[in-house]
Amino acid sequence: MAPEAVTLQHPAIGSIKGKLFSPTVEEYLGIRYATLSDRFARGKLAETYPSSVDATSHGPLPIANPQNCDLEQLLLQHTLPHAAYTFSDLDCLTLNVSAPNASVRGKAGKPLPVLVYVHGGGYVTGSANWPQWELNRLVELSVQEGEPIVAVGINYRLGPFGFMTSEVMRQAGYKPNNGLDDQKLGFQWVRKHIAGFGGDPNALTFFGCSIGAASGFVHLQSPEPLFNRLAAWGGSGLMQPLPLGVAEVGYGMVTKALGLDSLSPEEQVKELLRIPTDEFEAKTRDVHAPYMAWVDGDVVHTVPTFSSIATLDRLKKTLPGSEWCDRVSMVSCAQDGMIFLITALGGRTDDLAAALKRCITTTLSGHADLVPKLISLYGLDAASTPEERSLAIANFSTDIGFSQAAIASAAAWSRGGKKAVLSHFTAPNPWEGPWKGHATHGQDAAFVLQNFNEHLGPGQRKVAERMGRELVDFVAGKEGLPWLGGVEEGGREVVYYAAVDGGEDESAVVSSAEAAGRLERRRELEGVVGGRAEVLDRLMDAVGMLLSGR
């Protein structure tokens, strides 16, 4: 039976036809938030709408591999059914709104806090339309808990359409970082229109996962207050944007794959705009060009480091948004680093453990005494099988690229007199696959959005529901959360855990010292590093060297 239709009279947009997800939750799908004059142009905030907007089905996805949803579900190691998707280069800037029904909104008696979800996927894949990232169940949970929220999922351009740039393109008037600018436009649309769905435009939480989390920190480089709170899960606040010069390599790879490398610069740009999208995507699908945030002086101004957020003055200079973002929630998974073995390192055939040793030795040339300690801690000499070497790489990448970055970011907010929640997801992946038994990248987001609850054991389902409630409380601006606090208070951190077949949620709020004891390798790593931000910066450089193959 088709879901029941519902119509919302929006004061600015007009009549919007959506549908009921459940008796208490409505969804409005595929609403255009920005328009594009061509596939590489900057978006413009949508100003006009038809007299009646049909928001009963998803809009077209940004151009990407049509198999990406299924590939990501393979990464999570569990599938969810979905319909076939359509794609567009021009009509892809859409968002989905999930809101409590009119009765719930009326009983609240005030505008509701808003969560805006920015998906991950390394800037090459992902969508707010995919079933694993739907927001309805989280909104439904918020209603059940008596703390209703509105949730919005934004789609933004990916791959070459969102993150390719070159001197040739810039001379033709095409700016870098389209995908990040799309996200910004999405937040501007939400600020302008969310009140019509019952939301509070002055209570916005940026909820980003993986590269979406890293994107949230990029937006903190702007003095423009796009949101009020940041929940950054499974993504590093210290992701390092790249200099524009590196983008030339990717541009050359793409134009060569499209057969444009012999054309003049002017003709290249014309052809990039003309080539049919299906042909463009198919010919560049296996081109591993660097699609990243670029330091352009407009969207991205600087490269954040452990050192650049180590003091309050440095934090404010590096991330001006630390002044207008009043609280952060940082979550890392015990095995976030496995994602690099599937993505950046997936095609490598060399000895990765030996490569990492070289990277550590090179970047720590000024701290040579630490090198053997780190090699021993991560078992780089002892790893004798491909599986052992892969696990060593994943562990190092997890600790430096995700866990320590999350700890440093949360501590920076706490030092600044703001509030921070620092959480660690350690519940093992329960589903069959190569990473069963590990708390894998993306699993935290899969749990918190409640879309896999029927496929979890009773204990892990309780963990998922707890995570959902605590995220809702964060979005709602509640005060009774387990704030990190300062070192003098011993710190407070959350460790999420339940055994695969367990019946109970074994999560706990513990001191930072106890959290370090519960998390494999953290205490030993912190003993080696000794709290020195400059050492962590060199280790982050080692991760970057390894991933880039330098």
The stretch 119-146 carries a mean pLDDT of 98
Q: Which pLDDT score is estimated for 237?
A: 87
Alpha carbons within 13 angstroms on the beta-carbon side of residue 284 total 29
Residues 6+ apart with CB under 8 A from 231: 115, 205, 206, 207, 208, 328, 329, 331, 471, 474, 475
180-212 pLDDT per residue, tens: 999 999 999 999 999 999 999 999 999 999 999
**Which of helix, strand or coil describes residue 448?**
helix
Q: 450 and 395 in one domain?
A: yes
Return d(Cα 443, Cα 73) in angstroms, integer: 11
Q: 391 and 285 in one domain?
A: no
| 324 within a domain of the structure (yes/no) | no
Name the burial class of residue 399, with classes exposed (0-12), middle (13-18) and buried (19+) by CB atoms within 10 angstroms of its CB: buried
Read off the pLDDT band of 398 (50, 70, 90): very high
The stretch 402-413 carries a mean pLDDT of 95
Boundaries of domain holding 537: 334-550
The stretch 137-163 carries a mean pLDDT of 98
476-524 pLDDT per residue, tens: 999 989 999 765 456 899 999 999 999 999 999 998 888 888 887 999 9
Residues 6+ apart with CB under 8 A from 438: 334, 335, 338, 428, 429
| 308 within a domain of the structure (yes/no) | no
Q: 466 and 379 in one domain?
A: yes
| 339 within a domain of the structure (yes/no) | yes
Contact (Cβ atoms closer than 8 angstroms) between residue 260 and residue 271: yes
271-307 pLDDT per residue, tens: 999 999 999 999 999 999 999 999 999 999 999 999 9
Backbone φ, ψ for residue 132 (5° rounding): -70, -20
109-122 pLDDT per residue, tens: 999 999 999 999 99
Q: Which pLDDT score is estimated for 3?
A: 82
Q: Parallel, antiparallel, or unpaired for β 25-32 and 94-100?
A: antiparallel
Domain count, the chain: 2
Q: 443 and 359 in one domain?
A: yes
Return d(Cα 334, Cα 76) in angstroms, integer: 14
**H-state helical runs in 78-230:** 102-108, 136-144, 159-163, 167-171, 178-193, 211-219
Q: Which pLDDT score is estimated for 319?
A: 96
Task: Count helices and strands (H / E) in the chain.
Answer: 21, 17
Between residues 134 and 351, which one has the greater pLDDT? 134
pTM for this structure?
0.96
For 4, other C-beta atoms within 10 Å of its C-beta total 10
Q: 204 and 96 in one domain?
A: yes
Return d(Cα 2, Cα 113) in angstroms, integer: 29
Read off the pLDDT band of 32 (50, 70, 90): very high
Return d(Cα 509, Cα 532) in angstroms, integer: 26
Backbone φ, ψ for residue 481 (5° rounding): -85, 160
Residues 6+ apart with CB under 8 A from 270: none
The pair of structure tokens assigned to 469 is 């409630």
Q: 362 and 252 in one domain?
A: no
For 470, other C-beta atoms within 10 Å of its C-beta total 20
Dihedral of the alpha carbons of 31, 35, 38, 41, in degrees to the nearest 10: -120
| 323 within a domain of the structure (yes/no) | no
The pair of structure tokens assigned to 1 is 């039976």
CA distances from residue 308 to 149, 177, 544 in whole angstroms, order as listed:
34, 23, 17
**Which of these, 439, 420, 419, lies nearest to 429 by C-alpha position?**
439
The pair of structure tokens assigned to 51 is 């007299």
∠ CA(325), CA(331), CA(332), 5° rounding? Answer: 135
Read off the pLDDT band of 440 (50, 70, 90): very high
The pair of structure tokens assigned to 364 is 């720590």
The pair of structure tokens assigned to 426 is 């350690």
CA distances from residue 442 to 91, 122, 170 in whole angstroms, order as listed:
28, 12, 34
| 314 within a domain of the structure (yes/no) | no
Q: 401 and 284 in one domain?
A: no
Q: 345 and 247 in one domain?
A: no
Q: 102 and 29 in one domain?
A: yes
323-367 pLDDT per residue, tens: 999 999 999 999 999 999 998 888 888 899 999 999 999 999 999
The stretch 80-89 carries a mean pLDDT of 97
| 11 within a domain of the structure (yes/no) | yes
Mean pLDDT of the chain: 95
Q: 342 and 283 in one domain?
A: no
Q: 338 and 287 in one domain?
A: no
Domain boundary among 291, 315, 350: 291
Read off the pLDDT band of 247 (50, 70, 90): very high
Q: Which pLDDT score is estimated for 490?
A: 66
∠ CA(544), CA(304), CA(406), 5° rounding? Answer: 80
Return d(Cα 464, Cα 448) in angstroms, integer: 5
Percent of the chain with pLDDT strictly greater than 70: 99
Return d(Cα 19, Cα 197) in angstroms, integer: 13
Q: H/E/C letters for each residue in 17-80?
A: EEEEEECCEEEEEEEECEECCCCCCCCEECCCCCCEEECCCCCCECCCCCCHHHHHHHHHCCCC
| 152 within a domain of the structure (yes/no) | yes
Contact (Cβ atoms closer than 8 angstroms) between residue 268 and residue 260: yes
Largest CA distance in the chain: 70
End-to-end CA distance of the chain: 56
Q: How does DSSP classify residue 333?
A: E
∠ CA(187), CA(191), CA(193), 5° rounding? Answer: 110
> Of all helices (H) and strands (E), which one includes residue 534?
helix 533-548
Q: 378 and 248 in one domain?
A: no
CATH code for position 60: 3.40.50.1820
Percent of the chain with pLDDT strictly greater than 90: 90
Label residues 293-309 b or e (16+ Cβ within 10 Å = b).
bbbbeebbeeebbbbbb
Read off the pLDDT band of 311 (50, 70, 90): very high
The pair of structure tokens assigned to 62 is 């940004």
pLDDT reading at 86 higher than 90:
yes
The stretch 7-36 carries a mean pLDDT of 98
Contact (Cβ atoms closer than 8 angstroms) between residue 281 and residue 161: no
Domain boundary among 260, 275, 291: 291
| 301 within a domain of the structure (yes/no) | no
Contact (Cβ atoms closer than 8 angstroms) between residue 404 and residue 238: no
pLDDT reading at 266 higher than 80:
yes
